């Protein structure tokens, strides 16, 4: 006679929720499998605190063949969901199967659906927060940027999806006099997990994995920083995908430093790293001013085309109405938007503010032209620093820039 298996409760079972009818949601925190369990099934489950066989449980709880069959299939379901495990099961933690670099957001951006990363599809617009300021050289706080953007978004927009497609119904834009972003599929994947002992390289690896995952599914990545160093691994990943990638860098600083306070990689050196490592073809930098560092010199040993336009030059071009000539056309682009390109009068909540900056309306004109005349393959918005903000005005502005850029980039 065949020997029967003994089963017992997994030692990783945890209670997640109890509803008004007493149904419990239990989860195996090792495997991530969840099961909803009725009060009656809880009695059956308690039988397996001690090892037991399926037939012994059927003997105790089932009267008649039909009931025994029901109990038997219930137990098999609990086994399948790893609530019950083989008596001798080796329950070591399964590291590979946990979401190793993403955490689920408590509040999503504009109410966008949050979704498991495995369910991302073609053309999805995917938001990811990177709450890190481990690479700042001055005032910290940019790690709070993604949360501030999500919190502000809920004051402005309420997401509604179409019942047939599941896609966004969009929103009415008063400037355009029409609905924007309707029919798009949005996902807020949550935040990259940043640990206090993460080194920049450690964090860059997680950001790179996340970007690779999004672009491998032909989806469009949008990142909320975080300090500016986070853009380097994103651009490195996108450059592996797009041989002719042009980087549009909007920033009061050139971010071309090589070394500050003993650090090689920090938020003021991301562009040096990108120029050396990423394999991109062109850079357009807009908005440098003040003591922002020397622009990239063509004398350096690099084949990348590097063009720049200071805030002063931009202001002059707006005055002469020649600014459109400064915008590239027909490129495959990634936009990296450091919010400190704006004047601190409008955007004080940044890590390293520089006076005499750009006005928001001019920035909007530049972004609109960049996004509509080129093919955008992703963007980031970085350096929002809520502890330095005044009445959340920078976060409000960052929110409007983000939604406008989403529309200009992919609402065609």
> Is the Cβ of residue 75 or residue 395 nearer to Mn ion in the bound state?
395
For position 343 contacting Mn ion by CB under 5 A, the verdict is no
Q: In the stretch 225-264, what mask flags binding to Mn ion with x, by CB under 5 A?
A: --------------------------x-x-----------
Residue 251: both structure tokens together: 């920033």
d(CA 243, CA 111) in angstroms, rounded, equals 34
- CB of residue 355 to Mn ion, shortest distance in Å: 13
d(CA 358, CA 62) in angstroms, rounded, equals 75
- CB of residue 387 to Mn ion, shortest distance in Å: 17
d(CA 80, CA 386) in angstroms, rounded, equals 46
- CB of residue 307 to Mn ion, shortest distance in Å: 18
- CB of residue 193 to Mn ion, shortest distance in Å: 25
> Is the Cβ of residue 191 or residue 338 nearer to Mn ion in the bound state?
338
Residue 2, C-beta contacts closer than 8 angstroms, at least 6 positions apart: none
Residues numbered 146-205 forming contacts with Mn ion, rule: CB under 5 A: none
Residue 309: both structure tokens together: 């336009």
Name the closest residue to Mn ion (Cβ): 253
Is the distance from CB of 12 to CB of 29 less than 8 angstroms? yes
- CB of residue 138 to Mn ion, shortest distance in Å: 11
> Is the Cβ of residue 210 or residue 341 nearer to Mn ion in the bound state?
341
- CB of residue 214 to Mn ion, shortest distance in Å: 25
For position 380 contacting Mn ion by CB under 5 A, the verdict is no
> Is the Cβ of residue 10 or residue 310 nearer to Mn ion in the bound state?
310
Which of residues 133, 191, 338, 411 is near Mn ion by CB under 5 A? 338
Which of residues 124, 191, 227, 340 is near Mn ion by CB under 5 A? 340
Give phi and psi for 179, each to the nearest 5: -75, 135
Handedness of CA 284, 274, 221, 129 (dihedral sign): negative
Residue 325: both structure tokens together: 């000539």
d(CA 241, CA 243) in angstroms, rounded, equals 6
> Is the Cβ of residue 207 or residue 252 nearer to Mn ion in the bound state?
252
Please work out the total of residues on this chain that contact Mn ion, with binding judged by CB under 5 A: 4
Q: In the stretch 292-331, what mask flags binding to Mn ion with x, by CB under 5 A?
A: ----------------------------------------
For position 411 contacting Mn ion by CB under 5 A, the verdict is no
Cis bond upstream, residue 14 (ω within 30): no
Q: To which H or E segment does residue 173 belong?
A: strand 171-173
Residue 313: both structure tokens together: 């030059």
Residue span binding Mn ion (CB under 5 A) among the ranges 122-130, 137-145, 339-347, 389-397: 339-347
The region, left, alpha or beta by phi > 0 then psi within -120 to 50, assigned to residue 304 is beta
- CB of residue 381 to Mn ion, shortest distance in Å: 12
Count of helix runs (H) and strand runs (E) in the chain: 10, 16
Query: From residue 389, how far is each of 98, 155, 346 by CA, in Å?
Result: 36, 17, 10
> Is the Cβ of residue 211 or residue 311 nearer to Mn ion in the bound state?
311
Residues numbered 137-156 forming contacts with Mn ion, rule: CB under 5 A: none
- The secondary structure of residue 13, as a DSSP letter, is E
Residues that bind Mn ion (CB under 5 A): 251, 253, 338, 340
């Amino acid at each position: 006679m065949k020997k029967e298996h003994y089963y017992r409760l997994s030692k990783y079972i945890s209670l997640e929720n109890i509803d008004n009818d007493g149904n419990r949601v239990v989860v195996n925190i090792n495997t991530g499998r969840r099961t909803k369990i009725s009060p009656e099934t809880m009695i059956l489950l308690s039988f397996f605190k001690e090892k037991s066989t399926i037939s012994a449980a059927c003997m105790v709880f089932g009267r008649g063949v039909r009931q025994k069959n029901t109990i038997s299939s219930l137990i098999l379901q609990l086994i399948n969901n790893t609530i019950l495990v083989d008596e001798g099961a080796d329950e070591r933690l399964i590291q590979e199967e946990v979401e190793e670099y993403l955490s689920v957001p408590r509040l999503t951006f504009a109410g966008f659906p949050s979704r498991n990363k495995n369910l991302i599809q073609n053309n999805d617009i995917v938001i990811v927060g990177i709450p890190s300021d481990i690479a700042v050289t001055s005032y910290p706080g940019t790690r709070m940027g993604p949360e501030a953007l999500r919190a502000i978004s809920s004051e402005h927009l309420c997401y509604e999806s179409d019942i047939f497609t599941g896609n966004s119904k969009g929103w009415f834009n008063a400037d355009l006099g029409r609905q924007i972003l309707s029919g798009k599929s949005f996902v807020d994947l949550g935040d990259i997990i940043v640990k206090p002992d993460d080194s920049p390289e450690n964090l860059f690896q997680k950001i790179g994995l996340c970007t690779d995952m999004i672009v491998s599914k032909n989806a469009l990545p949008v990142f909320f920083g975080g300090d500016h160093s986070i853009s380097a691994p994103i651009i490195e990943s996108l450059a592996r995908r797009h041989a002719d990638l042009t980087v549009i860098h909007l920033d009061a600083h050139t971010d071309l430093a090589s070394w500050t306070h003993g650090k090689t990689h920090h938020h003021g050196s991301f562009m040096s790293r990108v120029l050396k490592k990423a394999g991109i073809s062109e850079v357009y930098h807009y908005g440098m001013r003040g003591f922002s560092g020397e622009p990239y010199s063509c004398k350096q040993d690099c084949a990348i085309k590097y063009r720049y336009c200071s805030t002063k030059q931009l202001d002059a071009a707006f005055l002469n109405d020649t600014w459109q000539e400064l915008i590239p056309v027909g490129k495959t682009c990634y936009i990296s938007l450091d919010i400190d390109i704006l004047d601190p009068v409008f955007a004080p909540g940044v890590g390293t503010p520089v006076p005499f900056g750009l006005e928001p309306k001019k920035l909007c004109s530049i972004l609109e032209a960049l996004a509509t005349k080129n093919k955008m393959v992703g963007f980031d918005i970085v350096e929002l620093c809520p502890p330095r903000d005044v009445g959340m005005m920078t976060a409000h502005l960052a929110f409007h820039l983000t939604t406008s850029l989403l529309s200009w980039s992919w609402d065609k």
